[in-house]
Structure 1
Amino acid sequence: MRKPLLLNSTVAGAFALMSLAGTQPVLAQDGMSTAMTYAGELQFQGQTITKDTAAFLHRRILEQRATQLVTWAMPMMNFEQLYPALHANLKTSQGMDISDEDIFFGLYDGYDGVYPFMTANVTTPYTIGFSDLSQTGPIVVDLPPGAIFGVVDNAWMQPIHEIDGTPGKLLLVGPGQNAQIDFDGTIIQSDTFRVVYFYRALGTGDEAKALRTSVKAYKLSDADNPPDTKFVKYEPKPDDAIALNTQPRDIQFWELVNTYVQREPMADRDRFFYAWLKDLGIEKGKPFNPTDAQKEILQAGLDVGMAMSQAISFNKTREMFPTSLYGDNSGFEDAMAGMNPAIDLPTYSMFNERASYGFEATTTSAGMVSRTPGVGSAYLGGYYDADGNALMGGENYMLTVGPNPPAANFWSVTVYDMENRLIIRNEQKRSDRSSRSEGLITNDDGSVDLYFGPQAPDGKEINWVQTNEGQSFFVYLRLYGPEQEYFDQTFPMTPIKKVE
C-alpha cells in the first residue's frame, strides 16, 4: 500500500495560510510566517496564530461588532434621541416641566419649528405625539372625522398603524400590557413601549387649523373622565439651545442604546446583536460601566459605523439597493432605499434599507412608499454634483427641474446640511423652493432652474437657496402624489451642476 504523502509543518502551514488569506505567506526558519489580510498583518507559527496576533484579532472582532451595531441601531437611535429632544425643546421654549407620564401633541411649523428633525419638510406642518407606554400605560387616541393622515410607529420606526382619515378610537398597548377586550375601537399592540403617533391635517385655512387640534389623546386609566388634550406649539427664541434628533457621535450614542436595551423587550431577530452588545458592556439588567478599553473600542466602532451608514445612505449601489438609483446618470437616489417600512419580511428582515433611511430621516409610513400613482409621496436625494464631487456650501450649483414634474399635488426641493441632516440654516431663513413658491421663475419650456450657493445669481434670487462656506449639503426632491412617470423613471432628471 502506498504511504500517504506528508507535508512538513512549514509547507503545510503555508498552504493553510494561502487558503485562509489568499496570499503567499513569507516563511522563516522557525516556522514563522506572515500573511497580509484586509484586517492587517497576521502572524503564524506553523498552523498556530501567535499570541500577539490573537490579541490583535480579539480587538478587531470587538471593533467590527461595534461598527455593525451602529448600523443595526440606526433607526432606533433616531427615535431614542428624538424623545428627549422633544421634551428638552418644549421645556426651553415654553418652560414646560414634562415628565414621562405626560401626554401631549407638539405643533411644529415652518423654518424654525421643524428644524430639530432630520430631513424635515418645511412646507407641511407636523403634529407629533411621543409616549413611553411603560410609564403611561395604554393610551387612547381619538381621531375625529376629517382629512387626518399619519402613522403610529414603534421604537424602530416601523409602522404599526396607518392613520388614513378614518375616524375612531385607537388603543395603543405596550408589551405585556393588558388590552381592554371590550374597547370600542381599534386595539394596536406595540412590540416596544415607546411609540410615535404623528399626523397631518390636510387642507388649508381655519378648517384645517381646527382639525389639527381636534384629536384627543389620554391614558386608558383616565377614559371615564379624560382630561383636555394639550397642544403645545414649538416656537424657539433666537438664543434658545436646540436639542436635535440627530444620532450623537460620542459615548452618549451607546448610553442611549443601553437605555433602549434596559427599557424594551428583546426582539427575537436581535438575539445575536444583544450578544455583541454584552461583549461591549451593554447587558439587560446590568449597569453600563464600560472600561477604558471598551470606551476606546465603542468610539472607534461609532466613528467607522457612522461613516459606513453615510456610505450606505448617500452612495447607494444597485447591488445593495436594486431599485433605488433613479435612471442611469441622474445623480438622484430613492431616499427610502426601496424599503418596505414593515421591515420584517417573510424570508428576512431588512437591514441595509433600515440603516440607510434611519441615518438621514425620521418616521416611515406606507404612504411614503406607495406605488399607486397620485397617492402618497416620493423622495429623491441628490448628494453629489455631476462630476461626483461633494456639494460644498462655498460653491455655486444649479439644478434643473424639468417641465411638468410627475406630481399630482406639488413638488419641492429642500436643502439640508450634511453634518446633521437638518434643513440648512442661513441668513435667508429659507431652505426650500417648490412649485408653490410665489414668484418662482419658470423657463419657456416649463422647466425651473434652482440655484444653491453663498450668493444669489443676479435676478434669480427667488429661485435660490443660500448655502454656507465650509459646510457640505444635499438636497431632496419631493413629489407629492407621484405619477406614473416617476415609477417608470421616464421623467428626465439631471445631476446638480457646478456653475461659475
Structure 2
Amino acid sequence: MRKLAIAVGVTSILVGATAPRSFGADILTGRIETHVGPVELRGGYPSNKSVEKLYDELDFQRATQAYIWATPLVSMEALVQANKRDWGVDYNDVGLVDGYTTPAVGALTGNNTTIYAAVFTDLQRDGPVVIDSPVGVYGVIDDFWQRPVVEVGPFGPDKGKGGKFLLLPPGYDGPVPDGYLATKSKTNQTMFIGRAFVNDGDIKTAVDTLARIKAYPLSKAGNPPETRIVRAGERPLDSIPPKGFDYWKLVADALDKEPVEDRDRFFHAMLKPLGIEKGKTFEPDARQKRILTAAADVGFLMAQTLSMAPRLENASSYPGTHWEWVLTLDPSQEALAYTQLDERTDYTFEAITVAEGMIKKIPGVGSQYMSAAKDKTGAWLNGGRNYTLHVPADVPAKEFWAVTLYDVMTRSMIKTETMKAGVSSQDKLKENADGSVDIHFGPKVPKDDVNWVRTIPGRGWFAYFRWYGPTEKFFDKSWTLPDIDRKG
C-alpha cells in the first residue's frame, strides 16, 4: 500500500503504513515506523533528532487535549473580557441587553427571544459578593468552569420570589450573616446570567426588571454603592473564543486567576512544559508558540467534532432523527467513575452557562433545548441550499417556542443583511390549515418570507429549537419534531 504522509501541526502521521513493529531485542539500531512517523534508534535509545521529535509530539498531543479540557473556562474568560472591552462592563456591573439580542452580539448560541443581563464577580478581589435579584428574574450563577453555583428563580432557593444571594470565595471560612442565600463558588470569578420574559410584547417591563439587579461586596452591605447598569443597546460584542495562539493567552489568563482543583492537576502539569504555569508570566519561546498554535487548530476541530457529531449514548433526543440534546452532561460535570470531559465539550464548545433547570423534567416550568446540524439524509446543513422544518401543530410549550440558526464556526447567530437569525411562536407566522408551521431556511427569498431565515452560501449552520414551559407531551414524546428536510 502506498504511504501518504499528512502533516498535522508538528507531527507527520503515516496513513496506510504497515502496523508499527513491536519493540524487542532485534530493534536496537535503525529506523522504526510509528504512528507519528519514523523514529531512529541508536543501541535501543532514540537518536538526538528523534528525542526532539518525540518531545514535540508529546507536547503537541498534550496541548490538543488541554485545548479541549479548557473549553468551558476559555469561553467564560472570553466573555468577561469582551464585556469589558466592547461594552465597558466591569465586575459587579450589570450588563443589560435592553432589547432582543441580535446577530450583532457575537456570543455562543445567543438567544434572540428573551431579554438578558449578566453580572461578573471577582471574589478574590472583593471577597464575598451580594447579588440582589428581584422578582421576575430567572437564571443561574455559574463558576468559571460553567458549573452551577446556585440557580435563581423557580428552581433556586428564592423560589422565584427574588432574594439576596451571597457568593462566598473558594476556601472561605469567615462569618456568614443572616438574611442572605449564601453559597460557595469553586472559582474566584463567577457569572450571573439572568433573563426576563417578554409578555404581550412588553419589552420595557422585562428590561426594567433586569435593571433592578444589584451587585456589591458584602463588605459594603451597610451602605451599598449604586450598581452600575450598562445598557448595551445595539452595540456589537465579540465574545467568541479566539483561534490559534490567542486561545492560549486566555487559557493562561484564566488559570492564573483561579485555584487549582485536584481533578485538574495533571492538565496543569501537561501545560507547564509549554510555558503555561500558574503564578508565572506566559512568555512562550518560538518552539512552544509553534506547538501551541498548531495544537489550537487541531484542538478546535476535535472539540467541534465532539460537539457537532457526538458519540455519546445519550445524545440523540428523537431516535431516528438528527435532533440531539443540547445538554448531555450532568450540571456537576461528574459521573460515577469520571469527570465528564466529552459531555462537557459537547455543550461548552457551542454554548455557555449550565443550569440544573435545563435537565429537570417538570412540566410547564423551565426550558428545554435540542439542536440539529444535519438534514433528514444525514448531510451537514449547508448555507447554499434550501430546507424546510415542518413544526407540527400544538407544540408542547406553555410559554412559547423558537428556532434559531447559528454559524458552525463562530457558534453565534448567523449574520446576514436581514439581521434575522430565527423565528418563534411570538412572531406572526403563517400557519398551515391544521395549525402546523413550515419554516424555511436558505439563501433565496421564498414566495412567503414570513417564515423564512436567510442562510449564507458556503457556510455551514446548525439550529436550536427551544421549548419554554415544556408540557407533558414534550417529556413523554407523544409530540415529536421531524428532521429538517432539504428542498433543493
TM-score tier by shorter-chain length is: 0.7 to 0.9
Superposition deviation, residue 386 in structure 1: 2.7
Root-mean-square deviation over aligned CA pairs: 2.6
Structure in which a larger fraction of residues adopt helix: 1
Partner deviation per Cα, 1:241-279 (whole Å, 9 max, x = no partner): x44221111222111111122211101100100000101
Amino acid in the other structure paired with 2:452: W
Amino acid in the other structure paired with 1:82: L
Q: Which residue of 1 aligns with 2:320?
A: 329
Partner deviation per Cα, 1:298-331 (whole Å, 9 max, x = no partner): 01111111000000000012xxx21211233311
Asked whether 1:163 is paired with 2:152, we answer: yes
Q: Which residue of 2 aligns with 1:496?
A: 484
Q: Which residue of 2 aligns with 1:287?
A: 281
Question: For residues 121 and 209 of structure 1, what CA distance do their matches in structure 2 show?
Answer: 15
Q: Which has the larger displacement, 42-51 or 56-65? A: 42-51
Q: 1:476 to 1:142 in 2, by over 3 A?
A: same
Q: Percent identity?
A: 34
Amino acid in the other structure paired with 2:230: V
Selected match of 1:152 from 116, 135, 141: 141
Q: Secondary structure at the match of 2:456?
A: coil
Superposition deviation, residue 425 in structure 1: 1.2
Superposition deviation, residue 110 in structure 1: 1.6
Q: Which has the larger displacement, 366-375 or 196-205? A: 196-205
Partner deviation per Cα, 1:176-195 (whole Å, 9 max, x = no partner): 45544324212221121111
Superposition deviation, residue 136 in structure 1: 2.8
Superposition deviation, residue 42 in structure 1: 4.2
Selected match of 1:55 from 52, 55, 72: 52
Q: Which residue of 1 aligns with 2:37?
A: 40
Question: For residues 30 and 280 of structure 1, what CA distance do their matches in structure 2 show?
Answer: 32
Superposition deviation, residue 418 in structure 1: 1.4
Q: Which residue of 2 aligns with 1:106?
A: 96
Superposition deviation, residue 55 in structure 1: 3.0
Q: Which residue of 2 aligns with 1:211?
A: 209
Q: Secondary structure at the match of 1:474?
A: strand
Superposition deviation, residue 43 in structure 1: 4.8
Superposition deviation, residue 417 in structure 1: 1.1
Q: Which residue of 2 aligns with 1:221?
A: 219
Superposition deviation, residue 39 in structure 1: 3.0
Question: For residues 31 and 118 of structure 1, what CA distance do their matches in structure 2 show?
Answer: 52
Instruction: Note if contact 1:394-1:470 (Cα within 8 Å) is conserved in structure 2.
Output: yes
Asked whether 1:387 is paired with 2:382, we answer: no
Structure index of larger Rg: 1
Instruction: Note if contact 2:394-2:436 (Cα within 8 Å) is conserved in structure 1.
Output: yes
Amino acid in the other structure paired with 1:468: I
Superposition deviation, residue 282 in structure 1: 0.7
Asked whether 1:82 is paired with 2:70, we answer: no
Q: Which has the larger displacement, 212-221 or 467-476? A: 212-221
Asked whether 1:261 is paired with 2:259, we answer: no
Question: For residues 266 and 451 of structure 1, what CA distance do their matches in structure 2 show?
Answer: 48
Instruction: Note if contact 1:140-1:171 (Cα within 8 Å) is conserved in structure 2.
Output: yes
Where in structure 1 are there 5+ consecutive unaligned residues? 1-20, 92-97
TM-score w.r.t. length of structure 1: 0.85
Superposition deviation, residue 168 in structure 1: 2.4
Q: Which residue of 1 aligns with 2:184?
A: 189
TM-score w.r.t. length of structure 2: 0.87
Instruction: Note if contact 1:326-1:489 (Cα within 8 Å) is conserved in structure 2.
Output: no
Q: 1:30 to 1:477 in 2, by over 3 A?
A: closer
Q: Which has the larger displacement, 462-471 or 182-191? A: 182-191
Where in structure 2 are there 5+ consecutive unaligned residues? 1-17, 154-159
Question: For residues 170 and 27 of structure 2, what CA distance do their matches in structure 1 show?
Answer: 61
Q: Which residue of 1 aligns with 2:230?
A: 232
Question: For residues 352 and 74 of structure 2, what CA distance do their matches in structure 1 show?
Answer: 10
Asked whether 1:135 is paired with 2:125, we answer: yes
Amino acid in the other structure paired with 1:226: P
Amino acid in the other structure paired with 1:167: G
Superposition deviation, residue 154 in structure 1: 0.5
Question: For residues 176 and 468 of structure 1, what CA distance do their matches in structure 2 show?
Answer: 49
The count of aligned residue pairs is 462
